[in-house]
Amino acid sequence: MKLKSLVLDGFKSFAQKTQIEFRPGLTAIVGPNGSGKSNLVEAIRWVLGEQSAKSLRGSRMPDVIFAGSNDQAALNRAEVEITFDNSDHFLAVDTDEVAITRRLFRDGTSEFLLNQKFVRLKDITDLLMDTGLGKDSFSLISQGKVEQVFNSKPEERRQFIEEAAGILKYKKERLDAQSKMAETDDHLLRVADIVSELAGQVEPLKQQASAAKDYLNQKKQLTYFERSQLIYRLKTTAKQQTNQQAKLKAAAVQATQQQQLATDLQQQQKKLQQEQQQVVQRLDNCQSELVKIVQQREQLNGQQRLTLQQQDYREQRQQTLNQQLATAEQEQQQLQTQLHQLEQRLAQQQQKITSVKTAIKTKKKELQLDSAELQTQIEELRNQIVAKMQRQASVNNQINYLTKEHQRQLLHQQQLTARLTQLQQQQDTTATQHNDAANTVAELKRKLQQQQQQQQQLINHQKELQQRYTEQQQRWYQANGIFQQTRAKCDSFHEISSNYSNYYQGVKQVLLAKKQLTGIIGSVAELLSVPSKIAVAIETVLGGQLQNIVVTDELAAKQAISYLKTHHFGRVTFLPRTTIQPRKLPLSIEQRLKNLSGVIGIASQLVKTADSNQMVLEHLLATTVIVDSIDNAIIAARKLNFRYRIVSLDGDVINAGGSMSGGFRRSNNGLLSQQQQTTELAAAVDKMKKQLAQIEELGGQLKQQQQAVAQQLMLLEPQVKQATQAYQTAATNLKLQQNETGHLQQQLTAQQFEVQQSNLSLNNFAADQAKAVQEKQQLTTDLAKLKQEFASRQRQLENITAVHHQQEIELAELQQKQAVLLQQQASSQQQVNELKKRITQQALHLEQYRSELTELTANADQQQLSGESLQQRLAQLQQQQQTAEQKLQKLQQQRAQLQQQAAQLQSKSKRQAEIQQLAQQELQQLKYQTEQQEQQLDHDLQTLSEKYQLTFEAAQQLKIETDSVVIERQLKLLRRSISELGEVNLGAIKEFERVNQRYQFLTAQRQDLLEAKAELQKSMLEIDQEVKSRFQKTFKQIAAAFSQIFPEMFGGGQASLKLTEPNDLLQTGIEIMAQPPGKKLQRLSLLSGGEKALTAIVLLFAILQIKPVPFVILDETEAALDDANVDRYAQYLQRFCKKAQFIVITHRKGTMDHANVLYGVTMQQSGISKMVSVALT
């Protein structure tokens, strides 16, 4: 493989697109300091994947883009393309030519292309790995790399041997294995933490489960005696109820008799009341009619007064509108006049601006014309001078060549002619054989390339699938570890929530019995939706009130309280919806809060709940204000005179009355915090389940694809092997034919050329030599004239520059004048726009005035007709009012007589009511006693049904304890025993089963991880063995080559490479021992500067000899050598050119003398590099 070309466009100082074609042999790149030579090396390093801006002499990567110069603006893109001749398929790409392109834009966007197709940086790195062509490989050797050899520590020098040994991919595999090992260790650590945590939970849960079972056994006995007590009480109550019914029946008869007497009196009162109601009804109708008539008269009088007022207002408004109309029309005429004047002034200003713009344009054109023309002439003269100088050098070479060639051609002319005839005969015989072999090889190569391309595609696809599968496995392990932790935590919180473990005992028991009890809505904590921002504040304020239970009504609360008393579960606060009274801050206080700093809002407005629970929310939080800090809380409390409760987001409270509470509080152990964490964890678990399922599904698909690709590769491998062997055999035969044919053709061509050149040189030598001498003299004369004319043009340019300076001052004055005129024009235009706007508004006003006058005139006629009609209607209403007043007086006299009769009857009815009340009270007392017995009986029956699922008839058939004394004693003993057990976690039985099951599962998972870790350790050990083997083999080869090349480069002496730790090939350093001629054997660090540099170069040559690369770029590596060593250095490069292609950046003449091609880098324009090439052979 060979380096074919390099194209730079916008990279550093190469602003213009520059293409460099590289030839076989030694290419030297020369140029003055700062001309951009090293930019070529950096361009190659950059296009091969360099990611460090510092390595490219920059602070950040966009610094490689051309930054601009005095003559050219900065560019927004840098692009470098390097092309290789890949006809030997050195690179794993099935094309004869490989082009790698890298682009970088000013915004940081980067692109990589391989044969004009977009790829990733990783693809480029993988393509070049272990080929010796990477950005840090031995194909790019700078003076810094030479210094690195002799300045680095022995341990650091081993990297040179490692790179030559091709073990970078093994080190990468080992790093990957180490990464997996670290991940496995992380998984093990997490699993171990969880196992350790669970191990600490198993034993306590086991004890709690045992206590829970003991509790359930005693609870069963307690239930037996409580049931016996209930059945005994039911039987006793049933007997008492029979006696009570007889007493109730007698009292009911007495109450009925007194009720009949009271009913008769009530009938008489009712009849009298009906007569009174009729009179009152007629009286009310008469009064209503009279009031209606009076109201109508008042209404008509008001309308009459309003009509008169409107008439006065209309007359005044007409006068005002006539005046305003006249004033507006006069003002409209004035505005039109002003508008006309401003438009004329605006047109004049526009003419002035146009004139100034024309002058500015003319002045700029004059400035550009003279300077541009003279610059063009100077540039043409410079190009002519360079061309003449190049031609002069060429003519000198031609004269020397002609002299030597003439002498050589005279000696060999006769021998060449005879040899030419012999070669022509051999060529005819060989041509036929070569054509047959070439056709065979071409066909075999085509078939082989097709199979290799298919095989490589499958291999690349297999690698990609393996990498993706490995990444999926890593993602699964990571995701599964996090999922297990999150699910365990979520299960724990959910268990606590479902069992109400974080509630008081009484609250917990009521909530657990929600299905048995009626009307239980839930705890306050369950019913509130609190934003996380204010959760701490709400939790602090409510405190124990969060465990209050909301119920539908008082009966539900009463039933729950009875349940608590019956089972001795403690006390609970209930909030019935029907009785709870909401609180509310006065509107004045709410308005005052809006003006206070740091006030977030009223708690009841920030917390959400169902509409049915809104009164409960307002009862608890409507008078609580939330602020952001305790400082603002103090200010707010003072403003509100310490009448309301203020709480900060941190939970500091100022109570009504002025007391304060606060301090440290754990933020994650309250009911609200735990509910919020439970919700968040549940959502996270669901999301993680979906992610794990997706990862597992994708992993299965990748595994199936891997198996399919492996099967295809296995079938294709024998075919490729067979085709390769056939192609290699045919290619070997063809190569022999080609070598023979090529050899004959080269000899024949050379002989023909030499014969022709010899004849031509002998016949035309004198004429060519004379012509060359004459041309040299003419070139010398022309150069003198061109240089003189160049100097003259330079002086003219300086004079024109001075004139241009004065013209630029005049141009600036014109531009300033133009700016003033533009500003005046803008001001005038603004005035015109304002006048037009005012004229439009004034026209609208005129139209409004005229419309209003028309309307007022029409309304005047209508109001005159309305006034006459009002007078007639007022006279009719006055007559109707007199008739209604006479009728009202008669009805009032009749009502007074009926009221006197009703008073006498009321007195009799009152005495009878007192007698009836005494009888009724006795009856109600008996009913109340009966109801109490019935309620007790119903309650006991309901308890019997709900708690024990028994009817009274079935209970009577049961065998129970009938001795009430024994029942009471056993109940006391069992309750005392249960109380001594303390808090019992009934959920511990199931929790122990769940935790123990998870503990066993994670223990097995930990064992799987340990086995995976052992496999990784085994893989790393195998990689280490391979690295040791390759390192040892390569070191011995390089050490032998180093010992061989050293005396050749130094002209004597000896040197060797030694391992600092021969028993530790993975970490050992490399010591360089050298003995230049005339000196003793010593370490590299003790040699002189030049000896160090040359020894380092010897080591690099030794590495290149063992690990050949297609091309090598040397950047001033011989800078520290003297002339003699430079010459030996250059001669050695020429010897290496048979194996590799060399590109050398140098200042040394000795290196230039041995170059086959010479490139020059110049900066004819400031900051812009250009290339000049000369072929020397």
pLDDT at 488 over 70: no
Alpha helices, DSSP H, located in 500-553: 505-512, 524-527, 535-542
Average pLDDT over residues 143-169: 74
Average pLDDT over residues 563-585: 88
The rounded distance, in Å, linking the Cα atoms of 819 and 824 is 9
582 marked among binding-site residues: no
Instruction: Supply 525's token pair.
Output: 């904590």
The rounded distance, in Å, linking the Cα atoms of 406 and 403 is 6
Q: Which of 511-525, 922-936, 1051-1065 has the lowest mean pLDDT?
A: 922-936
Instruction: Give the pLDDT confidence score for residue 919 in this predicted structure.
Output: 72
Instruction: Give the pLDDT confidence score for residue 551 in this predicted structure.
Output: 93
Q: Which of 57-61, 231-235, 1096-1100, 1147-1151 has the lowest mean pLDDT?
A: 231-235
- In this prediction, residue 966 has a pLDDT band, given cuts at 50, 70 and 90, of confident
3-state secondary structure of 290: helix
Residue with tokens 């290496």, as numbered in its chain:
1136
The rounded distance, in Å, linking the Cα atoms of 940 and 936 is 6
Per-residue pLDDT tens digits for 273-298:
777 778 778 777 776 777 677 777 77
- Strand order in 653-654's β-sheet? 599-602, 624-627, 645-648, 653-654, 660-661
Instruction: Give the pLDDT confidence score for residue 678 in this predicted structure.
Output: 76
The rounded distance, in Å, linking the Cα atoms of 218 and 233 is 23
pLDDT at 189 over 80: yes
Q: Among residues of the chain, what percentage have pLDDT more than 90? A: 6
Q: Which domains does the chain have, with CATH numbers?
A: 1-137+1118-1139+1147-1177 (3.40.50.300), 140-195+1006-1108 (3.40.50.300), 503-669 (3.30.70.1620)
> Shortest CA distance to 427 belongs to which of 747, 732, 752?
747
Q: Which CA distances in Å does 622 have to 342, 553, 576, 596? A: 67, 21, 17, 18
The rounded distance, in Å, linking the Cα atoms of 323 and 43 is 88
* Cross-strand partners of 2: 85
Instruction: Give the pLDDT confidence score for residue 550 in this predicted structure.
Output: 94
- In this prediction, residue 1162 has a pLDDT band, given cuts at 50, 70 and 90, of confident
Instruction: Give the pLDDT confidence score for residue 23 in this predicted structure.
Output: 85
Instruction: Give the pLDDT confidence score for residue 165 in this predicted structure.
Output: 78
Q: Count CA within 13 A, CB hemisphere, residue 145.
A: 21
Angle of helix 168-499 relative to helix 988-1050, nearest 10 degrees, comes to 170
Q: Among residues of the chain, what percentage have pLDDT more than 70? A: 80
Amino acid at 1162: T
pLDDT at 19 over 80: yes
Instruction: Give the pLDDT confidence score for residue 627 in this predicted structure.
Output: 94
Q: Please, what is the average pLDDT of the chain?
A: 78
**Is 86 within 8 Å of 96 (Cβ atoms)?**
yes
3-state secondary structure of 483: helix
Amino acid at 363: K
Per-residue pLDDT tens digits for 716-762:
777 777 777 777 777 777 776 676 676 677 667 766 666 666 666 56
pLDDT at 102 over 90: yes
Residue with tokens 């599904």, as numbered in its chain:
697
Per-residue pLDDT tens digits for 876-890:
777 776 777 777 777
Amino acid at 56: L
The rounded distance, in Å, linking the Cα atoms of 842 and 824 is 27
- In this prediction, residue 364 has a pLDDT band, given cuts at 50, 70 and 90, of low
Instruction: Give the pLDDT confidence score for residue 701 in this predicted structure.
Output: 79
Q: Which of 276-285, 391-400, 688-697, 1165-1174 has the lowest mean pLDDT?
A: 391-400
Average pLDDT over residues 405-424: 65
pLDDT at 369 over 60: no
Instruction: Supply 1147's token pair.
Output: 């200042």
Instruction: Give the pLDDT confidence score for residue 628 in this predicted structure.
Output: 92
What are the two backbone dihedrals, phi and then psi, of residue 1156, each rounded to the nearest 5 degrees?
-85, -35
**Is 320 within 8 Å of 893 (Cβ atoms)?**
no
Residue with tokens 């209309």, as numbered in its chain:
314
531 marked among binding-site residues: no
> Shortest CA distance to 480 belongs to which of 183, 177, 176?
183
The rounded distance, in Å, linking the Cα atoms of 126 and 115 is 16
User: What is the tally of helices (H) and strands (E) in the chain?
Assistant: 20, 23
Instruction: Supply 575's token pair.
Output: 């909030």
User: Do you know the residue count of the chain?
Assistant: 1177
Instruction: Supply 235's token pair.
Output: 């039987």
> Shortest CA distance to 1173 belongs to which of 11, 23, 8?
23
Instruction: Give the pLDDT confidence score for residue 81 in this predicted structure.
Output: 94
Higher per-residue confidence, 1040 vs 702: 1040
The rounded distance, in Å, linking the Cα atoms of 868 and 856 is 20
36 marked among binding-site residues: yes
Average pLDDT over residues 558-587: 88
pLDDT at 79 over 90: yes
Residue with tokens 């066993």, as numbered in its chain:
1000
pLDDT at 301 over 60: yes
**Is 506 within 8 Å of 561 (Cβ atoms)?**
no
CA end-to-end distance (rounded Å), the chain: 22
pLDDT at 1177 over 60: no
pLDDT at 867 over 80: no
- In this prediction, residue 1160 has a pLDDT band, given cuts at 50, 70 and 90, of confident
Q: Which of 397-401, 581-585, 772-776 has the lowest mean pLDDT?
A: 397-401
The rounded distance, in Å, linking the Cα atoms of 978 and 861 is 101
Higher per-residue confidence, 220 vs 846: 220
Cα 417 → chain centroid:
81
In degrees, rounded to 5, the angle at the alpha carbon of residue 953 between the alpha carbons of residues 951 and 957 is: 110
Per-residue pLDDT tens digits for 127-137:
877 676 765 56
Q: Which of 440-454, 620-634, 1008-1022 has the lowest mean pLDDT?
A: 440-454
Q: Which of 22-36, 165-179, 552-566, 893-907 has the lowest mean pLDDT?
A: 893-907
Instruction: Give the pLDDT confidence score for residue 760 in this predicted structure.
Output: 64
Average pLDDT over residues 606-623: 90
Amino acid at 146: V
Instruction: Supply 954's token pair.
Output: 């079935």
- In this prediction, residue 1164 has a pLDDT band, given cuts at 50, 70 and 90, of confident
The set of residues, in sequence order, having a beta carbon less than 8 Å from that of 1068 and lying 6+ positions away, is 155, 158, 1059, 1060, 1061, 1062
**Is 617 within 8 Å of 584 (Cβ atoms)?**
no
35 marked among binding-site residues: yes
The rounded distance, in Å, linking the Cα atoms of 1082 and 404 is 49
Average pLDDT over residues 1010-1035: 86
Average pLDDT over residues 306-319: 68
DSSP-derived secondary structure letter, 622: T
Q: Which of 174-178, 186-190, 597-601, 786-790 has the lowest mean pLDDT?
A: 786-790
Residue with tokens 């990297």, as numbered in its chain:
159
- Ranked by mean pLDDT, which of 236-240, 347-351, 484-488, 1058-1062 comes out on top? 1058-1062
Pairing of strands 549-551, 645-648: unpaired
**Is 905 within 8 Å of 321 (Cβ atoms)?**
no
3-state secondary structure of 937: helix
3-state secondary structure of 662: coil
37 marked among binding-site residues: yes
Whether this model's pTM surpasses 0.75: no
What does the DSSP assignment read for 609-636?
Answer: --GGGHHHHHHHHTTEEEESSHHHHHHH
Instruction: Give the pLDDT confidence score for residue 113 in this predicted structure.
Output: 93
DSSP-derived secondary structure letter, 71: S
DSSP-derived secondary structure letter, 1058: E
pLDDT at 834 over 80: no
pLDDT at 181 over 80: yes
CB atoms within 10 A of CB 915: 12
Higher per-residue confidence, 536 vs 247: 536
pLDDT at 667 over 60: no
Pairing of strands 110-114, 117-119: antiparallel
Q: Which of 41-45, 778-782, 817-821, 901-905 has the lowest mean pLDDT?
A: 817-821
39 marked among binding-site residues: yes
* Cross-strand partners of 78: 104
**Is 724 within 8 Å of 448 (Cβ atoms)?**
yes
Instruction: Give the pLDDT confidence score for residue 668 in this predicted structure.
Output: 54
> Shortest CA distance to 1163 belongs to which of 33, 35, 31?
35
> Shortest CA distance to 864 belongs to which of 277, 314, 213, 224?
314
Per-residue pLDDT tens digits for 969-988:
888 888 888 777 777 777 77
Instruction: Give the pLDDT confidence score for residue 625 in this predicted structure.
Output: 93
Instruction: State the chain's maximal CA–CA distance in angstroms.
Output: 177
Per-residue pLDDT tens digits for 511-556:
888 888 889 999 998 888 889 888 888 888 888 888 899 999 999 9
Per-residue pLDDT tens digits for 3-17:
889 999 999 888 888
The rounded distance, in Å, linking the Cα atoms of 1043 and 1037 is 10
Instruction: Give the pLDDT confidence score for residue 558 in this predicted structure.
Output: 92
Contacts 24+ apart (CB under 8 A), 903-906: 905/265, 905/268, 905/269, 905/272, 906/269
Q: Count CA within 13 A, CB hemisphere, residue 760.
A: 9
**Is 194 within 8 Å of 488 (Cβ atoms)?**
yes
